[in-house]
């Protein structure tokens, strides 16, 4: 899904409805994420302050693994989207004229394609080198950013027994968990040798 700056600019500030279903991207570095459903987006875009503002709601589900009990579960997500984009031509004119007091930061991984910029209101604006905004890429990145780092199947998940490995959500075990202050372990080993 792509948006053209010229299409949004032609609407003269009126909202342009944007909706669609797009493929998701599974994060490679987060082992607890097994799969992500296709992404559904409902929103609108409009020309605002020399750029495009994209707002709406991104919905999807994810198959996750609980970090406590190691069971798979499904979680639903609804992410509020409020993103701003500015064509590089407009951003470079602002930089030369000193307009808006913009501070540009190069976005890692996208040399020459886009950069992040902060406008006068303190909101981040992505500067796009071409005429098209890759909305699919932006929404895929947002879906990954909103996944939990340590997914838990439920708030009261008891996890696994550290001794026998039994799922404590299903049943209790008879393991005696001896808690020893690690500072006293040296004395315990001394006692065992006497």
> Are 68 and 152 in contact, with CB atoms under 8 Å apart?
yes
- Report pTM: 0.70
Task: Tell me what pLDDT residue 50 has.
Answer: 82
pLDDT of residue 91: 52
Query: Does the pLDDT value for residue 84 go beyond 80?
Result: yes
Alpha carbon of residue 54 to chain centroid: 17
Q: How far apart are CA 59 and CA 78, in angstroms?
A: 5
Contacts of residue 30, defined as CB under 8 A and 6 or more positions apart, other chains included, come to 144, 147, 149
In the chain, where the domains are located: 2-157, 158-194
The pLDDT score that the predictor gives to residue 106 is 37
For residue 184, the 8-state DSSP code is G
Tell me what pLDDT residue 90 has.
62
Contacts with 20 (C-beta within 8 Å, 6 or more apart), sequence order: 1, 40, 41
Q: What is the mean pLDDT of residues 126-150?
A: 87
Which of 40, 43, 48, 39 has its CA nearest to residue 18? 43
pLDDT category, 105, cuts 50, 70, 90?
very low
Residue pLDDT, tens place only, 32-47: 899 899 999 999 998 8
- Collapsed DSSP state (helix, strand, coil) of residue 180: coil
Per-residue pLDDT for 182 more than 70? yes
Whether the predicted pLDDT of 68 surpasses 80: yes
Three-state SS annotation for 91-124: HHHHHHHCHHHCEEEECCCCCCCEEEEECCCCCE
Q: Across the chain, what does the average pLDDT equal? A: 79
| Residue 123 confidence class, pLDDT cut points 50, 70, 90 | low
């Amino acid at each position: 899904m792509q948006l053209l700056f010229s299409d949004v600019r032609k609407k003269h500030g009126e909202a342009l409805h944007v909706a669609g279903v797009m493929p998701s991207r599974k994060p490679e570095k987060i082992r607890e994420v097994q799969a992500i459903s296709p992404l559904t987006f409902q929103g609108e875009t409009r020309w605002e302050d020399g750029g495009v503002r994209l707002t709406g709601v991104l919905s999807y589900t994810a198959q996750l693994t609980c970090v406590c009990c190691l069971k798979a579960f499904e979680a639903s997500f609804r992410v509020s989207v409020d993103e701003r984009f500015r064509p590089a031509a407009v951003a470079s004119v602002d930089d030369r004229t000193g307009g808006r007091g913009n501070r540009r930061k190069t976005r890692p991984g996208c040399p020459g394609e886009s950069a992040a910029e902060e406008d006068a209101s303190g909101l981040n604006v992505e500067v796009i080198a071409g005429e098209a905004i890759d909305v699919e890429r932006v929404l895929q990145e947002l879906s990954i950013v909103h996944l939990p780092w340590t997914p838990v199947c439920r708030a009261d998940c008891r996890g696994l027994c550290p001794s026998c490995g039994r799922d404590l959500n299903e049943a209790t075990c008879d393991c005696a968990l001896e808690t020893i202050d690690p500072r006293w372990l040296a004395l315990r080993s001394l006692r065992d040798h006497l």
